[in-house]
Amino acid sequence: MKKNRTPLSLRVPEPVCRPGDKPDFSSIDVGQAGAVARPDVTATPASMRDMAFQLIRVLDDEGRAQGPWDPKLTPDQLRKGLTDMILVRTFDDRMHRAHRQGKTSFYMKCTGEEAIACAQGQVFSREDMGFPTYRQQGLLISRGYPLAAMMNQIYSNAADPIKGRQLPIMYSDKAYGFFTISGNLGTQYPQAVGWAMASAYKGDDKIAAAWIGDGATAEGDFHNALTFAAVYRAPVVLNIVNNQWAISSFMGIAGGLETTFASKAIGYGLPSLRVDGNDFLAVWAATEWAAERARSNLGATVIELFTYRAAQHSTSDDPSRYRPGDEYDHWPLGDPIQRLKQHLIALGEWDEERHAAAEKDAVEQVRAAGKEAEAIGTIGQSRPSVKTMFEDVYKEPDWRLIRQRQEVGV
Amino acid sequence: MKKNRTPLSLRVPEPVCRPGDKPDFSSIDVGQAGAVARPDVTATPASMRDMAFQLIRVLDDEGRAQGPWDPKLTPDQLRKGLTDMILVRTFDDRMHRAHRQGKTSFYMKCTGEEAIACAQGQVFSREDMGFPTYRQQGLLISRGYPLAAMMNQIYSNAADPIKGRQLPIMYSDKAYGFFTISGNLGTQYPQAVGWAMASAYKGDDKIAAAWIGDGATAEGDFHNALTFAAVYRAPVVLNIVNNQWAISSFMGIAGGLETTFASKAIGYGLPSLRVDGNDFLAVWAATEWAAERARSNLGATVIELFTYRAAQHSTSDDPSRYRPGDEYDHWPLGDPIQRLKQHLIALGEWDEERHAAAEKDAVEQVRAAGKEAEAIGTIGQSRPSVKTMFEDVYKEPDWRLIRQRQEVGV
Amino acid sequence: MPSMNMIQALNSALDAKMAEDPNVLSFGEDAGYFGGVFRVTDQLQQKYGLTRSFDAPIAEGGIAAAGIGMAVYGLRPVIEMQFADYIYPAYDQIVSEAAKIRYRSGGEFTVPITIRSPYGGGIFGGQTHSQSPESLFTHIAGLKVVIPSNPYDAKGLLIASIEDDDPVVFFEPKRLYNGPFDGWHDRPVSPWAGHPLADVPEGRYAEPLGKARLMREGADVTLLAYGTMVWVSLAAAEHAGVDAEVIDLRTLVPLDIDAIVESVKKTGRCVIVHEAPRTSGFGAELSALVQEHCFHHLEAPIERVTGWDTPYPHAFEWEYFPGPKRVAEAIKRAMEG
Amino acid sequence: MPSMNMIQALNSALDAKMAEDPNVLSFGEDAGYFGGVFRVTDQLQQKYGLTRSFDAPIAEGGIAAAGIGMAVYGLRPVIEMQFADYIYPAYDQIVSEAAKIRYRSGGEFTVPITIRSPYGGGIFGGQTHSQSPESLFTHIAGLKVVIPSNPYDAKGLLIASIEDDDPVVFFEPKRLYNGPFDGWHDRPVSPWAGHPLADVPEGRYAEPLGKARLMREGADVTLLAYGTMVWVSLAAAEHAGVDAEVIDLRTLVPLDIDAIVESVKKTGRCVIVHEAPRTSGFGAELSALVQEHCFHHLEAPIERVTGWDTPYPHAFEWEYFPGPKRVAEAIKRAMEG
Ligand SMILES: Cc1ncc(C[n+]2csc(CCOP(=O)(O)OP(=O)(O)O)c2C)c(N)n1
Ligand SMILES: Cc1ncc(C[n+]2csc(CCOP(=O)(O)OP(=O)(O)O)c2C)c(N)n1
Ligand SMILES: [Mg+2]
Ligand SMILES: [Mg+2]
């Protein structure tokens, strides 16, 4: 038996840059817009494994739509996408400020990732069920969910739709196809598969979609989701939002140096697409492909959405402690809002003036919603009735909950 | 948004044959002996993804060693392999009978899978640590572990090395590089990775090996093991024993219809080999390749060992209830003992007489060990002292255990 | 009325519900074609089709999660955990998700799932086929925990669990599958056949969750038990020659506190019996509740007879198992005060 | 002697052990370069190198399993579970493996791992950053469970845990990281600086596992608490104006039963306080033990003051949290008998 001559050593991956270093994305190959082929939705997973190692991009550097993945959206659809993204970013900024002002205990932005949920919120319908994490506020906003209701949740005030039960931003709304967000990473992923299995079991036509972060793909739930999706051919779209960071850990800690996240699908025999997540058109087209596949009873697709977490992880985080402060500026896939704006302008369907007006409108909408929510109250000023603390544990409270409620005197 | 025209339906995989059907392996492509290329151990995982979809075979139908994976073993090594396998099978048969005779409460055979542990027990050393499941008795036997000690464990008698604590066949022996078997499927897999990480952390030269069944690859532990192995480049060989059955479930329930088990490595950026598990030479060669890779600080390899569970799952099982009784006879990769025997005979290093003698010798060895163990006692006749029940819960018992022991009066 | 053992009764419960409600389906490891390693789901696939009773990958967490997703959709999945000892990979999904989804969504999403699992010792199953993890679930707000001790209740409680709109963890004492085992492991065991509680009606009926069953009326001491320990307690009472009242709790959550309190107030003495290890077992909760509710009526310390604070030791099953002798001794201690 | 808050004291414990024992290493989510979301492992990577304090994938089960494998190898890994609420994916590895490997291998393989995890409420963390799952671990034979309440103990107990040859689950009351929070959330909070128990020696020292700390001597009633509830209990005693004896259990397993029994025999009254939900919380075990050992000395029912049997509700933190008022009421009830 051979023995190694040199001693073994433990490898711990490190990002290329830490605070103080010059940002460097030279190791990342983003390919060319329009370069990746588009298989038929009926293609076998085995025939399209290479999709996991390429990047589907539609918008080129000049803002033109290129190649077979161009979803050919109408100008109205594009404009809606753009204004939705603007609204999401405006909402995020406002809520982030609200945290500084002590109006909420917590907030999480999705800055730089707006294209994902805003596009996908349109491709999936409200009858489908989305199983999001905490950075898909764009699903709600792009579907016209009342901003004030989101704020009521964030403020845990008397009108909080989920009765003050959860941390800010943990929305839940069945009517909008938005499953209750869990604080436990990953759990929603196999649940989405189960939900999709149920739709198939019933012979219905609803599909499910789920989102997970690059970091959370390491959870066992991710594995369970893909196994069950493949084995039972569940009509579900499994999105991996690879924003390259998990709080302070870079994607290498989740295995992202070794291969793409999209390639994880291969070991389950699932098809996967790897997509420029900052390209509204590419996200739309890939999602449409996967949704059609699911609706055609061909089963699940994994989509890796490659993006960058531009903001801090949450209001509790300070990214300058673990990555260069200006890293986002060097990130090659740019900003989803800027890119769609450029495209619309290139099409002659938009201009700076309309953009400025859209931004102003977004601020107005957020301000109006803020007024409405703040009139009810921000955190600590207003909250649901204390007796609701003992409700919804079970459909009906048992004697323990009744007595405990009595003890609180409510 | 498009809607599917036809209703969705739930797919539940079914094996080709059920009891009463004619066995049919026509969907399985076993390729040709010698046909698969052998990459250098320094090859990048990305360059060898196709290995996951081919089957490394060395022994052809005539028993000749073919191609680049021939490990070029000496006749002595081959004969040891053969006699080890014979001994394992003989031991299994005897213990299975012992169960019928009421000498043990439980037993599990590895019939048809002997090549795997018997070859790998030689490639890995006792200083390495094996993290087995319950079908790697060949690791112990090929290393000359006292058969009587195994029987003492199976009989839970006074000489049971693990003091009657575990179900029969849940061996544990540190000196033989054999980690305590867990009843919980899959848990050993990421533990092996941690053990390997520790060896690398210390700058030692020991590597780890782990085994998991096709069925158990669905556990979250499998995912954790591969993630950690890839991220920390752990010196570990991760074996998947694909014997196509998990109790009554065929491998399709674990996702084996969709892709190969070896392909699961791709999504972690790990190299993988897919091997004819009934071919002693192929198993040896692939294992050697992976072990050398690990010892050279190049990290982990996944090996799928393709075989067939010829016997029942355990003494509690009756496979004729869920698969054709004669399925094994039609299985294209044959019997590992017959194939190595044929090879040795083709080499002129073995003959029927010697084979018969080896079989007789194995029976003798097992009989002698049986005498020794039965002299101590079979189940119920002999057991460790009852007071040991309260030992080894902690290094030192706390007051609860002392008082509980007193209550039992021992 | 047909006489059924517990396996048949559980199978009959599933059969009854699947016949009547297309939203009821069953899956688990080996639970489809083969009908489960204990045969509880036997023939359901053959009768209701591949998609209504099927095999699952060996991934308890995935099984639970898929079941939760289905339940959220509106189905009433019954999932099988092959052994309670293997429920831990599903623990997160059960305690963080199934238990909390109704609450955290403000009542909008609900999880009417039933999680069946054979549990408990006495079958020579060693460390990983003998565990009794019920208290790990009774601690979790949002879960119900049900443990039947006989075929009649098994069917009625399983149906009630399936019909319940909250997640139910349903533990089946596997030592009782074939007969009312009383813990005298050295005496012949009796089968269910002919036992009054094995008279199981065909079709649907439900036993309410949260109601204990009085198994034996008595004046001197209250024995609280569930699962296999109900029969051990009955045997122990006889062995001790004490006029014990034996209460089968049947559901641990919700607990029939009134039945417990009433009985202990009457007898003034209480012995609690379970197979799980002593420390932080459900007996601790019962003991705390009894002394909180009956302090001034107690004439002797509450006794707990439990598994030891060790893993389940294969060779020492009967030293570990709280058999009638140990229970009888505790009864005597309780009587002496 | 430097004054340290709990974070600094825990960091100092790791520093001391890593300096002296090359087999000690630390890893967890965000625990490497960044030093942990609560900064407990701050600067350890910078000081001891990349392989001795590093980040881990978001896979609590993998972290536990890797740690177990390392411990089996002979290292003394200290792993961090970012929040106790996220420990459940690791539950199987902890309870089926870490806890049982010594036993099932006949003592041949051992798992000297320390599993650190911030736990408990009072930080407005909502359902999934506030849980107190200690009783889910005290039920498991083979595990030790440690919960410090102050910087001095945090360091000494963490060092003892690392040096212990058995697996230790080490819960850190995150509400105490920066000060001895007494539960009066509407009053100014005091920092650790200047507190006698924040006088933390540099270098190695160990506090033995299994020894409680008497926080306040008293004659009238015994308060049993751990973690944040120690400070709440002290505040409650003062609020109630009762001469209470307050015992900080410090380790739940092994438990200092003698200290508990001695105190309750002296006072005849007992109030148990914990943050976890009431049903099957560790208070149940304590209550059962106290009545078993002190039945004839008890002058009043043992009281439990606990979290409610609900998930942890974000907006109702202070109604859920067992604050000094609720504890004081329980003390009064115990005094009245
Ligand atoms: C089970 C679990 N473990 C740990 C955490 C703590 N945590 C919250 S967010 C986060 C990082 C997640 O990163 P990623 O999945 O990449 O999502 P992103 O924040 O980048 O969108 C961690 C570790 C958690 N919420 N749940
Ligand atoms: C966590 C867990 N779940 C379920 C079981 C029950 N069980 C024991 S063996 C087995 C089948 C394993 O099949 P496979 O992994 O293919 O291994 P094989 O028996 O074929 O060698 C099952 C389900 C278990 N032991 N542990
Ligand atoms: Mg991320
Ligand atoms: Mg198998």
Report DSSP letters for C277-336, one per residue.
ESTTSHHHHHHHHHHHHHGGG-SSPPEEEEE-SS---GGGHHHHS--HHHHHHHHHHHHH
Q: Does A270 touch chain B (CB under 8 A)?
A: yes
Q: Two tokens at C137?
A: 């679930």
Dihedral (CA of C210, C215, C221, C224) sign: negative
Report d(CA D80, CA D90) in Å as an integer.
11
Please count the residues of chain A.
410
- Cβ of residue A170 lying under 6 Å from some atom of ligand 1: no
Report d(CA B206, CA B239) in Å as an integer.
17
Report d(CA B268, CA B302) in Å as an integer.
10
Is residue D149 within 8 A of residue D173, CB to CB? The reply is yes
pLDDT at residue B375, as a whole number: 98
Is residue C9 within 8 A of residue C177, CB to CB? The reply is no
Read off the pLDDT of each residue in A90-119 and give the average, rounded to a whole number: 98
Q: Which of D79, D2, D83 is nearest to D41 (CA)?
A: D79
Report d(CA D197, CA D154) in Å as an integer.
10
**Strand order of the sheet with strand D53-55?**
D53-55, D24-28, D76-80, D114-119, D168-173, D144-146, D251-253
pLDDT at residue B5, as a whole number: 63
Compute the C-alpha angle C106/C109/C113, nearest 5°. Answer: 130
> Would you give the end-to-end CA distance of chain D in angstroms?
45
- Cβ of residue D82 lying under 6 Å from some atom of ligand 1: yes
Pocket test for ligand 2, best of C82, C128, C129 (most atoms within 8 A of CB): C82
Domain membership flag for residue B270: yes
Q: Two tokens at D259?
A: 């200290």
Domain membership flag for residue D207: no
Domain membership flag for residue A335: yes
Q: Which of B139, B75, B92 is nearest to B283 (CA)?
A: B139
Residue D251: beta bridge partners?
D146
Is residue B40 within 8 A of residue B62, CB to CB? The reply is no
Report d(CA D148, CA D154) in Å as an integer.
5
Report d(CA B341, CA A364) in Å as an integer.
83
| Same domain as C180, residue C99 | yes
Q: Two tokens at C116?
A: 């069946």
Per-residue pLDDT of chain C (337 residues; tens, 9 = 90+): 789 999 999 999 999 999 999 999 999 999 999 999 999 999 999 999 999 999 999 999 999 999 999 999 999 999 999 999 999 999 999 999 999 999 999 999 999 999 999 999 999 999 999 999 999 999 999 999 999 999 999 999 999 999 999 999 999 999 999 999 999 999 999 999 999 999 999 999 999 999 999 999 999 999 999 999 999 999 999 999 999 999 999 999 999 999 999 999 999 999 999 999 999 999 999 999 999 999 999 999 999 999 999 999 999 999 999 999 999 999 999 999 8
Q: What distance in Å separates residue C89's CA from the closest CA in chain A?
A: 9
Report d(CA A224, CA D21) in Å as an integer.
39
- Cβ of residue D58 lying under 6 Å from some atom of ligand 1: yes
Report d(CA D247, CA D223) in Å as an integer.
6
Q: Is the pLDDT of residue B340 over 90?
A: yes
Q: Two tokens at D111?
A: 């798992």
Pocket test for ligand 1, best of A214, A247, A306, A307 (most atoms within 8 A of CB): A247
Is residue C288 within 8 A of residue D284, CB to CB? The reply is yes
Residue finishing a domain among D144, D174, D199: D199
**Residue nearest atom 13 in ligand 1 by C-alpha distance:** A246
Q: Residue B218 belongs to a domain with what CATH number?
A: 3.40.50.970
Asked if the bond preceding B397 is cis, omega within 30° of 0, the reply is no
Label residue B231 by pLDDT band (50, 70, 90): very high
Residue C114: beta bridge partners?
C78, C168
- Who contacts C322 (Cβ-Cβ below 8 Å, separation ≥6)? C183, C229, C232, C273, C274, C275, C305, C306, C307
Is residue B203 within 8 A of residue A9, CB to CB? The reply is yes
> Chain D residue with minimal CA distance to C281?
D139
Q: What distance in Å separates residue D113's CA from the closest CA in chain B?
A: 12
pLDDT in tens, A205-238: 999 999 999 999 999 999 999 999 999 999 999 9
Report d(CA B46, CA A258) in Å as an integer.
9
Residue finishing a domain among D172, D199, D226: D199
Out of B204, B218, B233, name the one closest to residue A227 (CB): B218
pLDDT in tens, D278-331: 999 999 999 999 999 999 999 999 999 999 999 999 999 999 999 999 999 999
Domain membership flag for residue A258: yes
Q: Residue C239 belongs to a domain with what CATH number?
A: 3.40.50.920
| Same domain as C273, residue C146 | no
Domain membership flag for residue A64: yes
Out of A7, A221, A259, name the one closest to residue B204 (CB): A7
Domain membership flag for residue C171: yes
| Same domain as C226, residue C89 | no
Is residue D115 within 8 A of residue D167, CB to CB? The reply is yes
| Same domain as C173, residue C151 | yes
Token pair 């390899």 in the structure block, residue: B301
CB atoms C59 and B220 under 8 Å: yes
Give the atom of ligand 2 at the shortest distance from the alpha carbon of B187.
Answer: 1
Give the CA count within 13 Å in the CB-facing half-sphere of C164. Answer: 30
| Same domain as D220, residue D165 | no
Domain membership flag for residue D135: yes
**Would you give the DSSP letter of residue C207?**
P
pLDDT in tens, B313-334: 999 999 999 999 999 999 999 9
Q: What distance in Å separates residue D184's CA from the closest CA in chain B?
A: 37
Report d(CA C274, CA C226) in Å as an integer.
7
Q: Two tokens at B74?
A: 């000496």
Domain membership flag for residue A32: no
- Who contacts B294 (Cβ-Cβ below 8 Å, separation ≥6)? B196, B207, B235, B236, B237, B300, B301
pLDDT in tens, A310-369: 999 999 999 999 999 999 999 999 999 999 999 999 999 999 999 999 999 999 999 999
Token pair 């050993």 in the structure block, residue: B188
Average of per-residue pLDDT values in chain D: 98
pLDDT at residue B399, as a whole number: 98
Residue B246: beta bridge partners?
B249
Strand, coil or helix: D232: helix
What residues flank ligand 2, with Cβ below 6 Å? Answer: B 135, 183-185, 213-216, 241, 243, 245-247, 309, 313; C 29, 58, 82, 86, 89
**Residue nearest atom 6 in ligand 2 by C-alpha distance:** C82
> Chain D residue with minimal CA distance to C138?
D280
CB atoms D316 and A254 under 8 Å: no
Is residue B161 within 8 A of residue B152, CB to CB? The reply is yes
CB atoms A156 and D314 under 8 Å: yes
Report d(CA D285, CA B400) in Å as an integer.
13
**Would you give the DSSP letter of residue B261?**
S
Q: Which of D116, D107, D51 is nearest to D82 (CA)?
A: D116
How many other CB atoms are there within 10 angstroms of residue C240's CB atom? 23
Read off the pLDDT of each residue in A12-41 and give the average, rounded to a whole number: 96
Q: What distance in Å separates residue D253's CA from the closest CA in chain A?
A: 28
**Strand order of the sheet with strand A236-242?**
A129-131, A208-213, A236-242, A301-306, A272-276
Is residue C204 within 8 A of residue C123, CB to CB? The reply is no
Is residue B234 within 8 A of residue B300, CB to CB? The reply is yes
Residues with CB under 5 A from ligand 3 (ion): A 213-215, 243, 246
Q: Two tokens at D172?
A: 């850190």
Compute the C-alpha angle C230/C303/C320, nearest 5°. Answer: 60
Label residue B1 by pLDDT band (50, 70, 90): very low
| Same domain as C154, residue C91 | yes
- Who contacts D26 (Cβ-Cβ below 8 Å, separation ≥6)? D14, D18, D41, D44, D52, D53, D54, D77, D78, D79, D80
Per the structure, how many domains does chain D have? 2
pLDDT at residue A383, as a whole number: 96
Enumerate the residues of chain B whose CB falls inside 8 A of the CB of residue A257: 269
Report d(CA A25, CA A332) in Å as an integer.
7
Residue finishing a domain among C144, C170, C199: C199
Domain membership flag for residue D282: yes
CB atoms A165 and D313 under 8 Å: yes
Q: Calculate the alpha carbon distances from A361 to A84, A91, A337, A355, A364 in Å.
A: 11, 12, 16, 10, 5
| Same domain as C175, residue C30 | yes
Pocket test for ligand 2, best of C29, C58, C83, C88 (most atoms within 8 A of CB): C58
Domain membership flag for residue B213: yes
- Who contacts B300 (Cβ-Cβ below 8 Å, separation ≥6)? B193, B196, B226, B229, B230, B233, B234, B235, B236, B237, B238, B270, B294
Domain membership flag for residue A159: yes
Q: Which of B178, B231, B183, B166 is nearest to B388 (CA)?
A: B166
CB atoms D292 and C301 under 8 Å: yes
Is residue D165 within 8 A of residue D107, CB to CB? The reply is no
**Is C195 tagged catalytic?**
no
Report d(CA B370, CA B91) in Å as an integer.
10
Q: Which of B131, C167, C97 is nearest to A224 (CA)?
A: C97
| Same domain as C242, residue C126 | no
| Same domain as D243, residue D170 | no
Domain membership flag for residue A150: yes
pLDDT at residue B3, as a whole number: 54
Cα-to-chain-centroid distance, residue A87: 16
Domain that holds residue A178: 45-313+327-379
pLDDT at residue B94, as a whole number: 98
Q: Is the pLDDT of residue A101 over 50?
A: yes
Domain membership flag for residue D208: no
Q: What is the DSSP string of A302-325?
A: EEEEE----S-SSTT--GGGTS-T
pLDDT in tens, B69-127: 999 999 999 999 999 999 999 999 999 999 999 999 999 999 999 999 999 999 999 99
Q: What is the CA(A244)–ligand 3 centre distance, in A?
A: 5
pLDDT in tens, B169-218: 999 999 999 999 999 999 999 999 999 999 999 999 999 999 999 999 99
Q: Does D210 touch chain C (CB under 8 A)?
A: no
Per the structure, how many domains does chain A have? 1
pLDDT at residue A5, as a whole number: 63
**Gyration radius of chain D over CA positions:** 19
Token pair 């190649």 in the structure block, residue: A67
Q: What is the CA(B351)–ligand 1 centre distance, in A?
A: 63
pLDDT at residue A1, as a whole number: 46
Nearest ligand by distance to the CA of B185: 2
Enumerate the residues of chain B whose CB falls inside 8 A of the CB of residue D109: 172, 174, 179-180
Q: What is the CA(C89)–ligand 2 centre distance, in A?
A: 14
Q: Residue C187 belongs to a domain with what CATH number?
A: 3.40.50.970
Domain that holds residue D126: 3-199
Report d(CA B289, CA B295) in Å as an integer.
10
pTM of the model: 0.99
Q: What distance in Å separates residue C106's CA from the closest CA in chain B?
A: 30
- Cβ of residue A189 lying under 6 Å from some atom of ligand 1: no
> Chain D residue with minimal CA distance to A317?
D37
Q: What is the CA(B313)–ligand 2 centre distance, in A?
A: 9
Q: Which of B273, B183, B276 is nearest to B237 (CA)?
A: B273
Out of D50, D125, D129, name the one closest to residue A14 (CB): D50
Q: Is the pLDDT of residue B4 over 60?
A: no
